[in-house]
Amino acid sequence: MQNESTNNQKGQKRGEQHGQVATMYENWFLDYASYVIMERAVPYLDDGLKPVQRRVLHSMWELEDGRYNKVANIIGHTMKYHPHGDVSIGDALVQIGQKNLLIDTQGNWGNIYTGDSAAASRYIEARLSKFALEVLFNPKTTIWQASYDGRNKEPVTLPAKFPLLLAMGVEGIAVGLACKILPHNFIELIEASIDSLKGKKIDLVPDFPTGGIADFSKYNDGLRGGRIRVRAVIEKKDKKTLMIREIPFGTTTSSLIDSILAANDKGKIKVKKVEDNTAATVEVVIHLHPESSEDVDKTIEALYAFTDCEISISPNSCIILDGKPQFLSVNEILRLTALNTQELLRRELQIRLGELEENWHFSSLEKIFIEKRIYRNIEEAETWEAVMETIHKGLKPYKKLFYREITDEDVVRLTEIKIKRISKFDAFKADEHIKGVEEEIKAVKFDLDNIKQYTITFYKNLLKKYGKGRERKTQISEFETIVASKVVINNAKLYVNRAEGFVGIGLKKDEFISDCSDIDDVIAFTSDGKVMVAKVNEKTYIGKDIIYVAIFRKDLDDETVYNMIYQDGSKGAIMMKRFTIGGVTRDKGYDLTKGLLGSKILFLSVSNPNDGPTVIVKLKPKPKLRNLESIIYFGAQLIKGRGVQGNVVTKFPILRVLEATPEQVQQYKKKQPDIFLPPSKDDKTQMKLEM
């Protein structure tokens, strides 16, 4: 009993420990997930920056003296704010520098086209751009917090007066959350911000630094579920040479060339050689084989279909707002940043107004203090309190002239005026100064009363000063999806063994059908009235006694019409039908007849919807059966789906079905012209053609 009690106590203790560990793990994991989301992966709406980017820029601002600083020095200075090592700081700094907006760079900062990395941090230099200094920093409007070790102060967010988040773009992966905001055009962002303040509708689409052509029809305002298709700009130099001048965003010339060579190795395209001459601009030269040069347009489409010359990008606009991650459209983000800019400008004006009023206040006090010779009255005062009281008494008649009460601090400042300044006091200059301050106060109050127009003017000035050379690089277009089967080169040959019922590219000893590619589909009909669509393979079983086989083009299904005469069962009626195949499942057999045992196809041909074959049906001789021959023009029949049973041709046994010659067609057109009339679309009934 004692051992059992001891075991129970041990088990209970282990259970308590397990519960404690589980609770600790849950709390720690939530803390970690929250930290990654808030401090590493997702940008803040206020300034569009991740913490490491903000700390880098703040450090550069502290080091700012107009000259370039070694990047290694900037990294070292930033480490007192960012506790995650020099590598993450250096990577963030290079990424900001490559965007050519906030940082002026000097040295080898890598190449966004080729993917080449920047030189070591000890060899390259950087400083803040004039644009960054104007829109990103203002200690008076910045909210500060203690750094991770408590030794320094760093900004919670920078007071950004520009939609920096949308201009630079950002990508990050957190715990159960991802963010991908694409870069937008500098000029368009400013113009859209102005439109937003005016209450106009805005519709932003990205603009990529690598250029290219993009279809934004499914952008979905940058939210989840949207999709952008981006293509390289491919030029025809001559019949044997193609030039890639711009590449899709997110690719490099190296990755692009690798995808072209991979497609060539798989036989999707045929290229002779690819050269990369990229430097300041993209220049990838593609040399074609002679057979590819015959249809250069098709080769270009194949490059879009099978290589990274066309890619798809899925945006996911996620930001930190009010201390938590939120999914907002890029248009809503722009609207909020425009309002944030307006509020920051309002705060700057209010701060400036307070400074001007203080300037006016003390300038006026000083003028009265000197002109009214109040300073002479303090000569007889024997104590500091008496000095203060004397000055207050001398200023009392003029108190109504001031914006606020005259405080002891004001009086102390008056006592600190040097005798030299008093002796050289110029009343005219003092009046001019006060007048200038009053005019500036009036102007600031006017701007505060018209803050929206003031913000619009601010944006227009930014556009005027920094907009040159920042025109859109990515062309906006809408293009159709390229069907791979249309542009892939025929890299294989299709064969058929009709008797055994096999088709494939590996049956090289059997009947050749046509050239094909390994991504094509094949359609085959068997004599018992079944059809199957299968992917081109080495060897695929369709069914014995194949009577028709061809490459199946689903995109051309509406243009391909099948004309068929079949017998319904071993002793059934002779039926005819004109149909398209429609949607099918690969490797599944479909009945084109009613599926009765003994059904068989007597005639099958392929035509376009506007025409059809003319056939002669001959019956077996039978007593009292006078008309043993009749003609059928399929072009006069309605086109329906593959599942339709069709029209009755005859219930009598037939001898054979022949396709009419052109001469026979002309003869029957003279004798029976009604047979060749086009079908009536309003006629929903099945016409009987019994003989």
Q: Which residues of 265-281 are buried (b: 16+ CB within 10 A; e: fewer)?
A: eebbbbbeebebebeee
Selecting among 25, 35, 123, 403, the annotated active-site residue is: 123
Beta bridge partners of 155: 144
If you search the block for the tokens 């070790």, which residue do you land on?
A: 149
459 is a catalytic site residue: no
Residue 394: helix, strand or coil by DSSP?
Answer: helix
Measured in residues, the chain has a length of 691
Determine the Cα–Cα distance for residues 96 and 49; give it in Å rounded to an integer. Answer: 10
Determine the Cα–Cα distance for residues 333 and 182; give it in Å rounded to an integer. Answer: 13
Paired tokens of 17? 């420990």
Determine the Cα–Cα distance for residues 557 and 214; give it in Å rounded to an integer. Answer: 29
Helix axes 330-371, 186-197, angle to 10 degrees: 70
Paired tokens of 141? 């409007």
At residue 105, what is the residue type?
A: T
Neighbours of 599 (CB within 10 A): 21
Determine the Cα–Cα distance for residues 565 and 604; give it in Å rounded to an integer. Answer: 7
Determine the Cα–Cα distance for residues 542 and 447; give it in Å rounded to an integer. Answer: 81
Query: Containing H/E element for 80?
Result: none
Given CA atoms 322, 331, 99, 452 in this order, what sign does their dihedral have? negative
Among 351, 349, 316, 343, residue whose Cα is nearest residue 160 = 343
Among 182, 223, 188, residue whose Cα is nearest residue 311 = 182
Residue 327: helix, strand or coil by DSSP?
Answer: strand
The pairing of beta strand 241-246 with beta strand 233-238: antiparallel
If you search the block for the tokens 């370039």, which residue do you land on?
A: 68
Among 106, 80, 78, residue whose Cα is nearest residue 92 = 78
The pairing of beta strand 574-580 with beta strand 640-641: parallel
If you search the block for the tokens 């003028």, which residue do you land on?
A: 367
Structural contact between residues 161 and 94, judged by C-beta atoms closer than 8 angstroms = no
Active-site annotation, residues: 123
